[in-house]
Structure 1
Amino acid sequence: MSSAIPADISVLTGPVLFADLVNWGLFGALTVQVYLYYISFPQDKPLIKAVVYTTYSIEVVQTALATREAFRILAIGWGNPDVLVTVGWLGITIPCLVSVLTWISQMFYAWRIWILRRTLWLPIIIAMLSLTQMICGLISGIHIQLIGILAEVEARTSKTTTVRLVCALVCDVVIATSMLQFLYGTRNTAMQRTQNIVSRLIKLTFETGLILMLVAVIDLTFFLAFPQNNFFYAPSMSLSKLYSNAMLVMLNVRIEVVGGRSKNPRVDVELSDATISTSLPMPTPYVPGSTPKASLTFDG
């Protein structure tokens, strides 16, 4: 262990601070998404609720461990150069938990694709790619914890990390392509009242898929190109939150705001094998001397 403070200390501590700030920001967005889901869709299937709340619970653990690592490096280990070269809980925080959360999100999309398209070959491909990335993530996490030295992580885990990120990237491409193809076909044959939400789903699918693929590419590039610093921290740390937020956004897209700018007061959304209808009453004109009333009904 070196006792001298490295000259490039900012490339070791800066990414850790930035990653923790981004991680907490995305966790705050996820918390809002989960709350909106909780109050808006109490009639969803138990399986969907289990996926949402299990994902959030694991994200709480991941955020706590990531914060603990940032506190260890930037507070407890302040002025101690040895802290900068040890991995701490890095193997658990990023490869293990991130790969598990990625697997949950991608398997949820595989289930949705099977429900919507009634074909098995696409979900099987997605499941195999997602399972491969999770296994590689768990192997990488265990190796990182056993290695213990940050400088040796890239050299000894580059293969499993590369396979994990490439499999996740290809899986995202398959999911996005399949969803976009189905949604475009649905929009062309859908009733007028469903076209608005289908268009929103198309936009969200494209945007979230593009963001996830871009972050995965940046993560892999930083990990392989800069093995002696912590540039990979921020994209690696944010991947799980991006997957979780993308999944919740796709679920919460069914929410309609009373008195908003939407021209469709009623929207039918096929979430699973049953159709979930959200009924939004039109506002009643106010009559002087009467008591104004407001109501919001969800038909499940």
Structure 2
Amino acid sequence: MPSPADASAAAAQLAVLTSAFKELFSTTFIGFSIATALYGISVLQAYLYFRRYTKDRWTLKTMVGTLCALDTLTTIFVAHSLFLFVLGFLNRKLDLNIPWSFTAEKLLVTIITFIAQCFYAHTIWKFSKHIFTTAFVSILAVGTFGLGIYTTVHLFENPALTSISTREFLVISGLVQGLAALNDITITGSMSYFLHARRTGLASSDKLIDTLVLYGVSRGVLTAIAQIMFLVLNVALPHHQFWIPFHLVVGKLYVNSVFATLNVRQGLSQTEVQLGHLSLVESHEGDQMRTKPITFAVIGEGRSVFTTIGTFSRGSGIPDAEQG
């Protein structure tokens, strides 16, 4: 018979395992619930995109289809992880190894993040032709992707939950979230700066630019906050899993931000602003038409990519669209 001391130690160990299991399940369930709601929004946005923009380039359609498929797989993998947690709890098998499906979901989130950040790097380039900013965003995207792949391989090789609390993993994982957050802030700041620099003093165009800046900032802030919270909770509380909800949500936020960026073209065109062509007339001075250029990074429809929302000439009476 085991001694009372051994029985007490076993009971204490079981209590610790049960507490850790409950924390792991609850944080995953909370994150999955929020992520699933965001997934529903992503599906709706993908549907609207394919319905509205039938003439978009095949590369854009492929990107949207790929993101939608990856987003669907991440949802399935997290659901599978929760199923394994529940099944283990019902069978009284408190397995604290990270399920393969959860690690696979992390891999897909890394790919989603890379695609989204490359999309915005391309947008910044078409929008500003600023090679330094574009290169910086691209380098951060590649760095985040490479380190994300490294941590994923580490988890496949070391599935024990304790492996994510090691110093090496925490440092590299922190770099992943830090680089991703820095990239989101850079993207948001550069887009806002380049847009603000194109303010013309015309009320209608400035209002449009303010709207676009507000939209871009809100997009970047959400993903940056999710990455920063992921980083802070992962590093500050390495023996807890409070970071999981932010990890599960961040991929959905990237997908939603890309889809929303593409779908916003419909709303802009309803105010006579179309991606690739803008027809805004501010005022007339006698027989002279007074207009000024407004430029914004856009993804055009058809076979051409339009980088100028509107270019207007004085006295012509006809606004011209410049293609890039």
- When normalised by structure 1's length, the TM-score is 0.82
Gaps of 5+ in 1: 278-300
Corresponding residue for residue 229 of structure 2: 218
Residues 164-243 of structure 1 mapped to structure 2, 5 A cutoff? 164-188=176-200, 192=204, 197-243=208-254
Corresponding residue for residue 57 of structure 2: 45
Amino acid at match of 1:54: T
Distance 1:123 1:166 in 2: 19
Shift in alpha-carbon separation, 1:152–1:93, aligned structure 2, 3 A: same
| Equivalent of residue 56 in structure 1, options 68, 87, 93 | 68
| Equivalent of residue 27 in structure 1, options 39, 42, 62 | 39
| Equivalent of residue 116 in structure 2, options 105, 119, 127 | 105
Corresponding residue for residue 121 of structure 1: 132
CA contact (8 A) 1:91 1:143 kept: no
Amino acid at match of 1:223: N
Percent sequence identity is: 20
Shift in alpha-carbon separation, 1:195–1:82, aligned structure 2, 3 A: same
Report which of the two structures shows the higher radius of gyration computed on alpha carbons. Answer: 2
Amino acid at match of 1:45: R
Distance 1:157 1:239 in 2: 20
- Describe the superposition over 1:233-277 as per-residue Cα deviations: whole angstroms up to 9, x where unpaired: 11011111101101111111112399xxx7x3x222242332799
Q: Note the C-alpha offset of 1:73.
A: 0.7
- When normalised by structure 2's length, the TM-score is 0.76
Shift in alpha-carbon separation, 1:123–1:12, aligned structure 2, 3 A: same
Corresponding residue for residue 98 of structure 2: 87
Q: Secondary structure at the match of 2:197?
A: helix
Is the counterpart of residue 161 in structure 1 residue 167 in structure 2? no
Q: Matched residue pairs, number?
A: 269
RMSD across aligned positions (CA) = 2.5
Q: Secondary structure at the match of 1:186?
A: coil
Is the counterpart of residue 274 in structure 1 residue 306 in structure 2? yes
Distance 1:242 1:134 in 2: 17
| Equivalent of residue 78 in structure 1, options 69, 90, 103 | 90
Q: Secondary structure at the match of 1:227?
A: coil
CA contact (8 A) 1:222 1:231 kept: yes
Corresponding residue for residue 65 of structure 1: 77
Distance 1:275 1:41 in 2: 17
Corresponding residue for residue 6 of structure 1: 18
Distance 2:124 2:249 in 1: 25
Distance 2:267 2:82 in 1: 39
CA contact (8 A) 2:177 2:227 kept: yes
Distance 2:161 2:82 in 1: 15
Q: Note the C-alpha offset of 1:157.
A: 1.3
CA contact (8 A) 1:132 1:167 kept: yes
| Equivalent of residue 252 in structure 1, options 252, 263, 266 | 263
Q: Secondary structure at the match of 2:274?
A: strand
* Deviates most, 35-44 or 148-157: 148-157
| Equivalent of residue 133 in structure 1, options 144, 149, 163 | 144
Q: Secondary structure at the match of 1:254?
A: helix
CA contact (8 A) 1:55 1:244 kept: yes
CA contact (8 A) 1:23 1:237 kept: yes
Amino acid at match of 1:128: I
* Deviates most, 152-161 or 48-57: 152-161
Q: Secondary structure at the match of 1:188?
A: coil
Shift in alpha-carbon separation, 1:234–1:103, aligned structure 2, 3 A: same
Q: Note the C-alpha offset of 1:122.
A: 1.3
- Describe the superposition over 1:169-188 as per-residue Cα deviations: whole angstroms up to 9, x where unpaired: 11111111111112223343
Q: Note the C-alpha offset of 1:163.
A: 1.1
Shift in alpha-carbon separation, 1:52–1:145, aligned structure 2, 3 A: same
Distance 2:242 2:56 in 1: 40
Q: Which has the higher contact order (CA 8 A, sep 6+)?
A: 1
Corresponding residue for residue 282 of structure 1: none
- Describe the superposition over 1:180-201 as per-residue Cα deviations: whole angstroms up to 9, x where unpaired: 1122233436793x55543332
